[in-house]
Amino acid sequence: LVEGLSVDEGFLDVTGSRALFGSGPEIARRIKQDVLSEIGLTGSAGVATNKFVAKIASDLEKPDGLTIVPRDGAAEFLAPLPLERMWRVGPRARVKLRAAGMQTIGDLARADAHTLGQLLGSWGPVARELARGLDERPVVVGRPPRSLGSETTFEYDLTTTDALLKPILRQSMQVADRLVDKGLWAQVVTLKIKYGDHRIRTRQARLSREVADTDAIFETARDLLGRFDALGTGVRLTGVSVSGLTKHPDAELFPDEGRARRERLAAATHALRERFGAAGVTRASLIPDPADPGDSRR
């Protein structure tokens, strides 16, 4: 059973596959090897008895790790980890928890349920159970993805806004193509930047309506780029992603004909790429230029 989590993450329930492919760790190793041999990319995996622990385990040894949590060792594995590793515990919640003397997931697991309810509301008792390594959520097949995205790592740091716009346009086009392929619309656009000194920052915008075309995504991402601090040491990676996905966009009282034309164009170009390949139809500004570091991707 496979449940997609994002463009490059997912949950697998391999209970029914062990007789054919071996144990969970053996299956994880095989997947990592197959991905590396077929598309040349490393990947990280976490093996555990539930989704919450497996997700945290998969994040620990990026970009090429394999973390295995024993069946009876989830609480012990989680206990020393900082609160930053805790799912759905954001900066504001962490401030409250630290003010109450909690620094690690283990501290959260040992906390009184009533206290956590006062600090985190209805999420408090749930967080306490997760911190103890308890998660009964099943792997759900066929669930629509929560987000779609595309990232580019450059051969060397880019230092100007103009240099960044070309890869951001390319990523916007790739994301729009995936939306069309899956019959989805998105209402939230996120731009991610990794600086040359390895700092990662994101900016996000919620649109007034759902979109599925390159122009709408790129224009939003371009606006978000202007909300970042000075580029400083330069930028090594950019990523465009969309969320707030739906198969049923809200109907408009006064339809936007321009939007309708863009969506028809997106559908037509997607069909051509399906027939002739990803490079079959592109924008003139995205034709690769060997002298442009923004075209040097890996």
What value, to the nearest 5°, has the Cα angle with vertex 200 and ends 152 and 34?
Answer: 45
Alpha carbon separation from 102 to 56, 77, 83, 109, 133 (Å, rounded): 19, 17, 8, 10, 17
pLDDT confidence of 284, banded at 50, 70, 90?
A: low
How high is the pLDDT of residue 289? 65
* Percentage of residues of the chain with pLDDT beyond 90: 46
Tens digits of residue pLDDT in 169-188: 999 999 999 998 888 999 99
Q: Assess whether pLDDT exceeds 70 at residue 156.
A: yes
CA–CA gap between residue 141 and residue 104 (Å, rounded): 33
CA–CA gap between residue 115 and residue 209 (Å, rounded): 40
Domains observed in the chain: 2-68 (3.30.70.270), 76-131 (1.10.150.20), 147-295 (3.30.1490.100)
Q: Assess whether pLDDT exceeds 60 at residue 295.
A: no
Question: Do you find a cis peptide bond into 125, omega within 30 degrees of 0?
Answer: no
Tell me what the mean pLDDT of segment 192-206 comes to.
Answer: 90
Q: Where do we find the tokens 């490393």?
A: 42
Tens digits of residue pLDDT in 8-35: 788 999 998 888 889 999 999 999 999 9
pLDDT confidence of 294, banded at 50, 70, 90?
A: very low
Active-site residue (options: 9, 26, 151, 210): 9
Q: pTM for the full model?
A: 0.56
How high is the pLDDT of residue 129? 94
How high is the pLDDT of residue 282? 62
Q: Are 249 and 210 in contact (CB under 8 A)?
A: yes
How high is the pLDDT of residue 296? 46
Rounded mean pLDDT of the chain?
85
How high is the pLDDT of residue 220? 96
Check if 9 is active-site: yes
How high is the pLDDT of residue 128? 93
How high is the pLDDT of residue 285? 60
Tens digits of residue pLDDT in 86-141: 877 888 889 999 999 999 999 999 999 889 989 988 888 899 999 999 999 898 88
Q: Residue 202's Cα: distance from chain center in Å? A: 12
Q: Are 272 and 177 in contact (CB under 8 A)?
A: no
pLDDT confidence of 291, banded at 50, 70, 90?
A: low
pLDDT confidence of 53, banded at 50, 70, 90?
A: very high
pLDDT confidence of 83, banded at 50, 70, 90?
A: very high
